[in-house]
Structure 1
């Protein structure tokens, strides 16, 4: 393979620094919720729409890429605010299913609509072809890194997004 042109290398490193340095969070949090709370409410809502019958905290933590402890703290706040309820699913006192209250479902729909508007505006600005190309390219980059990690050439580092600590 030919040497990477200096401009290409500099551009790639700069965009990687920008992605690492800061994340842009669209205002997708309905009034009264933190970013983390909004993510969890929408996560429960989306799982229900996808046909999940029982949404246990462990399932949601994995899906949301959160630690069980962080999820538990946020669920407690959502229960106190009246957005989420926990229901027992068996005789095991530890087994619970998460349910949105009527108020929680309303706020989830609002947050979901906000996210859809944001995505639509972004796609309109960037263009469908460019978005599709970017997604395909990012999949290739992730596949490359996963292969490199499997071969022991690089290390995979899990880091939790600081935004989820709200």
Structure 2
């Protein structure tokens, strides 16, 4: 790799790291955590698509463990923001839906998020915002056309327990 590309790679990596570290988030509606509002927003989107939402679906969509989702749902239920309904004929099956109060919290969280996003777009201006979208789409195009190769993973250092079993 040429020195100029190496320098650009380093600058790009450091800039992306700074974005992750300094990313500001909009204020939350009072009485709710970031994880709870994210769960409410995800639940609202899934309901809007007509889906029957189950805890496992939320865990998969939010990249959270089932235990973490369970704790979040318990808190949201105690606050009166969701209801859980057992499936007919299968008491293990649980469907989750927003209450009216849950919809109000979700709407306020979405409003704050959208407001912040609009401020960012105004700051960037239309030309820079369009250029950003174009570049992100090019990066996605690269990711879709250049998947990670198994060989790269097989050369990586491995974590193994005694007996040669891979670590979780």
Task: Report if TM-score (shorter chain) is over 0.5.
Answer: yes
Deviation readout 1:69-100 (Å, 9 max, x if unpaired): 11111111111111111012331112111111
Greater Cα offset, 37-46 or 135-144: 135-144
In the alignment, the residues of structure 1 paired with residue 85 and residue 129 of structure 2 have an alpha-carbon distance, to the nearest angstrom, of 41
Aligned-residue CA RMSD in angstroms?
2.6
Report if aligned partners of 2:55, 2:66 keep a CA contact under 8 Å in 1: yes
Q: What's the CA shift for 1:121?
A: 0.9
- How many residues align? The count is 153
The aligned runs of 1:33-48 (5 Å cut-off) are 33-48=32-47
1:106 aligned residue: 104
Report if aligned partners of 1:148, 1:154 keep a CA contact under 8 Å in 2: no
Report if aligned partners of 2:80, 2:101 keep a CA contact under 8 Å in 1: yes
SS of residue paired to 2:113: helix
Report if aligned partners of 1:88, 1:97 keep a CA contact under 8 Å in 2: yes
Structure with more relative contact order (C-alpha pairs < 8 Å, separation 6 or more): 1
Q: TM-score, normalised to structure 2's length?
A: 0.77
In the alignment, the residues of structure 2 paired with residue 121 and residue 140 of structure 1 have an alpha-carbon distance, to the nearest angstrom, of 24
Q: 1:73 to 1:25 in 2, by over 3 A?
A: farther
In the alignment, the residues of structure 2 paired with residue 40 and residue 88 of structure 1 have an alpha-carbon distance, to the nearest angstrom, of 19
Structure 1 unaligned segments of length 5 or more: list them.
Answer: 156-166
SS of residue paired to 1:39: helix
Report if aligned partners of 1:56, 1:96 keep a CA contact under 8 Å in 2: yes
Aligned: 1:61 with 2:66: no
Q: 1:53 to 1:135 in 2, by over 3 A?
A: same
In the alignment, the residues of structure 2 paired with residue 69 and residue 118 of structure 1 have an alpha-carbon distance, to the nearest angstrom, of 31
Q: What's the CA shift for 1:144?
A: 3.9
1:13 aligned residue: 13
Structure 2 unaligned segments of length 5 or more: list them.
Answer: 155-168
Greater Cα offset, 87-96 or 74-83: 87-96
